[in-house]
């Protein structure tokens, strides 16, 4: 069974420009509308895989004004803006933020670049982009979990060694010496002593200020 050609929704009011798109994007199923309003009205019956959006349209409409609605209704469909009327700051605004376009090409458009961009959008964007984002998030969470486990293991190991050195001691611990020995900050040793005293494993004399958040000198 032949695979259905991807659908490209083209929002373009210039007939000549659209004829160029038809030639360039041969093999795709093109659906043309002339305004953003017409594009929104067509969405219940058209399910595009890519959207090509001109900025200056018929009836005084501006393509970028419709970008938030397109992203709301087509959250996973890549949007390619094609316009010669956008300033640099407008192009940047269109490509940034949660309701952004994926690409912005200047007019007169390089038709070979347009075809490459459509091919890339179909390959890299859409649902597969969402999958990659979830996978990246999962990897990040796994890395964080491993790092937290490593820190917890290091802390318990250090506290057990501190406990072995100070068990039975009734005088103040040398916090700076312990920090140098274990190659950690003084505040880390202080937190270790506070936890050991709180658990009743060390007497309060090893760090009399254990209830206070400050870091007094030795």
In a domain, 32, yes or no: yes
Lookup result for tokens 């397109």: 70
Residue 216 pLDDT grade (very low, low, confident, very high; cuts 50, 70, 90): very low
Strand order in the sheet with 29-33: 29-33, 7-11, 50-54, 79-83, 103-106
Beta bridge partners of 32: 10
pLDDT for the residue numbered 180: 92
Residues 87 and 172 in one domain: no
Residues 41 and 91 in one domain: yes
End-to-end CA distance of the chain: 80
> Could you tell me where the DSSP H helices lie in 52-183?
67-73, 88-95, 111-124, 127-166, 175-182
How many other β-carbons are positioned within 10 Å of the β-carbon of residue 129? 13
**Is the confidence at residue 3, as pLDDT, over 80?**
no
For the chain, what percent of residues have pLDDT higher than 90? 29
| Domain termination site, one of 105, 125, 145 | 125
Q: Are residues 97 and 117 in the same domain?
A: yes
Q: Is residue 215 part of a domain?
A: no
Cβ burial 181-211 (10 Å sphere, 16+ → b, else e): ebebeeebbbebbbbbbeeeebbeebbeebe
Q: 19 and 121: one domain?
A: yes
Domain of residue 145 covers 131-206
Pairing of strands 7-11, 50-54: parallel
3-state helix, strand, coil in the chain (%, to 5): 55, 10, 35
Q: Are residues 116 and 202 in the same domain?
A: no
Asked whether the predicted pLDDT for residue 215 surpasses 80, the reply is no
Residue 26 confidence (pLDDT) above 50: yes
Distance CA 62, CA 35 (A): 8
Q: Is residue 46 part of a domain?
A: yes
- Are 120 and 144 within one domain? no
Task: Looking at the structure, tell me whether residues 59 and 143 fall in a common domain.
Answer: no
- Cα(69)–Cα(151) distance, rounded to whole angstroms? 46
Q: What is the per-residue pLDDT across 90-140, written as a single tens digit (0 to 9) for each?
A: 666 666 666 677 888 888 888 999 999 999 888 887 666 655 656 656 666
Residue 212 lies in a domain: no
Q: Residues 193, 149: contact at Cβ < 8 Å? A: no
The answer to whether 83 touches 54, Cβ cutoff 8 Å, is yes
Provide the CATH number for the domain around residue 185: 1.10.10
Within a domain: residue 109? yes
Q: Which two tokens stand for residue 172?
A: 């103040």
Tally of domains in the chain: 2
Which residue is associated with the tokens 């103040």? 172
Same domain, yes or no, for 135 and 121?
A: no
Looking at the fold, whether 51 and 145 belong to one and the same domain comes out as no
Domain boundary among 125, 153, 168: 125
Residues with Cβ < 8 Å from 178, sequence gap 6 or more?
162, 165, 189
Cα separations in angstroms, 77 against 52, 67, 86, 103: 10, 12, 22, 12
Radius of gyration of the chain (CA): 31
* Residue 216 forms part of a structural domain: no
Domain end call among 91, 125, 159 = 125
- Sign of the CA dihedral running 8, 25, 37, 108: positive
């Amino acid at each position: 069974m032949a695979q259905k050609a991807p659908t490209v929704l083209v929002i373009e009011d210039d007939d000549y420009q659209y004829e160029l798109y038809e030639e360039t994007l041969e093999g795709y199923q093109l659906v043309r509308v002339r305004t953003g309003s017409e594009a929104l009205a067509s969405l219940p019956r058209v399910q595009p895989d890519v959207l090509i959006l001109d900025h200056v349209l018929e009836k005084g409409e501006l393509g970028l004004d419709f970008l938030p609605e397109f992203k709301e209704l087509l959250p996973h469909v890549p949007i390619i803006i094609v316009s010669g009327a956008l300033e640099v700051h407008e192009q940047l605004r269109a490509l940034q933020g949660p309701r952004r376009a994926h690409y912005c090409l200047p007019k007169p458009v390089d038709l070979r670049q347009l075809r490459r961009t459509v091919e890339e959008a179909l390959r890299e964007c859409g649902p597969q982009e969402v999958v990659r984002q979830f996978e990246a998030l999962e990897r990040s969470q796994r890395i964080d979990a491993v790092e937290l486990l490593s820190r917890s293991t290091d802390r318990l190991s250090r506290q057990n060694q501190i406990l072995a050195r100070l068990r039975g001691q009734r005088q103040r611990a040398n916090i700076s010496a312990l920090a140098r020995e274990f190659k950690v900050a003084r505040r880390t040793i202080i937190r270790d002593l506070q936890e050991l005293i709180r658990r009743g494993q060390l007497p309060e004399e090893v760090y009399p200020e254990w209830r206070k958040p400050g870091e007094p000198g030795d």
